[in-house]
A and B are shown apart, each in its own frame.
Chain A
Amino acid sequence: MSNATAASSATGPAPAPARASRRKVSLRKRVVYALGPLLWIGPAVGLIAFVVLWPVVVMVRTSFQKVSSYGEIKGSNGWRNFTNLFDELAFKGVVERTIIWVVVVVALTMLISLGLAQLFNQQFPGRRITRWALIAPWAASVLMTAIVFKWMLTPGYGLINVLLHDVGLLKDLNGASADPLGKASTAMPWLIFVAIFVSLPFTTYTIMAGLSTIPGEVYEAARVDGSSRWHTYRSITLPLLRPALTVATLINVMNVFNSFPIIWAMTHGQPGYTTTTTTVFMYILKGKDLGESAAMSVVNFGLVVIIVALFLKISRWKTEVD
């Protein structure tokens, strides 16, 4: 900033005869100005190009290629990978399930997190320890969490089953109802439960971060005005939390949409395709037909792009980085 103004004030009052040589200098200067930033941001741009952008190009190209089961390219396949994908019997169900999966998990996560953030924002003895407990599912690998839940739902002796049995909610420890992951109607709710479980810490922390940016005087004023707690929360806290809620919702949508380890570890998308989302379907197709799998990825990716674009529009991010 200061350099730019210095340069313009130096060139401003220069006499006319020196114009030719000055243009040379300013050209060189301009090259330096243009390349200078590259020194600092070049490596970052390079890494993004290699790891993020290049795979997108390769993926889109693959979606139009015929790929043998050994991974060899057998020439162009036109739109056939896409038509094959849309013709898959499971496709429609997979897409519908993905939408339900994302909406239900994110909505419930946001609601529960609003409550948890309120709770853990209070002062009480041992708050530090409870907050440490809260971050465990965030720090731990989602895969490990999913595996433990699968273990706790094992028929016969899984801990959740045993506890449900002890309370009287589960009649037969070895019956069909003790294998919730083996049945379509109960597998999905449990997957949703685990997805919410691992999403809560991040969301709660983001909302707590949002709460910490609300100045105390605002509440003071509300109290003087005599508004009730619930009214204060609805008319002051929630509107001021909007930026935090927007960010948390978006990041959760991305995470849940792309979520793979939970479903993969707990059900592999089974029974049938009843717990398969688009991401899992992409992975299953990868073993059968790489071209069709790439087509699924492109469809997935298109949805991600739409979500990101919507977010950029809503959040007006430019005002934040200026």
Chain B
Amino acid sequence: MATLAAEMPAVTTRTANKKRQGRPTWKTVVLVVSAYVVAFLFVFPYLDMFITSLRPQSELQTTSILPGHYSWSSYSTLWKTGLGTNLKITLMVSAGATILVLLVAMPAAYFTARRRFRGRMAFLLLVLITQMFQPTAMLVGIYREFLSFHLLNSVWALILVNAGFNMAFAIWILNAYFSSIPKELEEAAMVEGSGRLGALFRVTLPLAMPGVVTALVFTFIAAWNEFIVALTLMQTPDKQPLTVAINGFIGAYNIEWQHLFAASVIATIPVIILFAFIERKVVSGLTAGSIK
């Protein structure tokens, strides 16, 4: 038994060394190649989106995989079609919803993580249920509600809806982060003279920052990409966010695909980059938020 245990590590290090020094085994090659192929398939549609946006009008309907000439003119003419207004609406809605979620979710998450109070379970259940529901399922209700409040075509309506439906996820993530920070750290800061709020801002918040950033980026991206509520509530073209405006391109008699895709690239690339920044936090966020 003892000899077996002593031999085991030696065997594993030897094979590990062989792998590292010698030529890669066919297994590793298959692994790496398949990973790269899968990765390529996942960006493939977005590559075609980008390439199409660079195709000149004359090369739009050809069977060549890559265009002979590249042209950036779609992007410059795009601004003349008034898409800048739609981009502004999208930015306002995403930023507004993110700030609102920050203001509303942080105190709630902090309090439920630190205190046991009556109604805590009821509140957490409410949040969980909200997370399950999507605006799509209650579209008619949302439409009639905002109609009666005269909030159709109002940016505020979209900010409220996006904040409301994304707040649940933010509360979950933040709750998990706040719970993982020992109470003693805060109490120590309070002993040293900072008040409760001082301890919160100087000790707890900085430690919970990864969670805060993850929650905010998720909210921002969700609001940025939201489509069906905006399609229902925002009926005048100059009040529509990018998603609805781009969908509007399709309805036109002559679909100007290169313009459509230039707009899509503008609507897509920023969020993919933003998401890539928090990619490493996503796994810990998901573990903390839902599958502890």
Contacts and interface: CB of A to CB of B under 8 A. Distances in A.
Interface of A: 1, 3-4, 33-34, 36-37, 39-41, 43-45, 47-48, 50-52, 54-60, 62, 71, 116, 119-120, 122, 124-127, 129-145, 147-152, 156-157, 159, 162-163, 165, 173, 200-201, 205-206, 208-210, 212-213, 224, 243-244, 247, 250, 254-255, 258-261, 264-265, 279, 282-283, 286, 290, 293-294, 297, 300-301, 304, 307-308, 311-312, 317-318, 320-321
B80 interface: no
A283 B276 contact: no
B140 A286 contact: yes
A142 B108 CA distance: 30
A47 B167 contact: yes
Interface string B46-78: 101100100000001111010000000000000
Contacts of A317: 125, 128
Given A47-B160, A311-B132, A148 B264 contact: yes
B104 interface: yes
Nearest to B52: A151
Given A37-B119, A130-B39, A139-B271, A48 B126 contact: yes
Interface in B277-292: 279, 282-284, 286-287, 290-292
Given A141-B268, A144-B264, A144-B267, A258 B137 contact: yes
A71 B143 CA distance: 11
The 8 closest A-B pairs by CB, nearest first: A51-B164, A55-B141, A59-B141, A139-B275, A40-B111, A133-B39, A141-B225, A130-B39
B45 interface: yes
A44 B171 contact: yes
A8 to B, nearest CB: 13
Given A58-B141, A62-B144, A283-B139, A141 B48 contact: no
A310 to B, nearest CB: 11
Interface stretch (B81-89, B188-196, B205-213, B243-251): B243-251
B48 A159 contact: yes
Q: Which residue of A36, A254, A311 has the most chain B CB atoms within 10 A of its CB atom?
A: A254
B63 A157 contact: yes
Nearest to B171: A44
Interface string B144-159: 1101100000000000
Contacts of A147: 246-247, 250, 260, 264
Nearest to B115: A1
Contacts of A1: 115-116
A40 B139 contact: no
Interface in B165-217: 165, 167-168, 171, 175
Given A124-B31, A145-B45, A206 B291 contact: yes
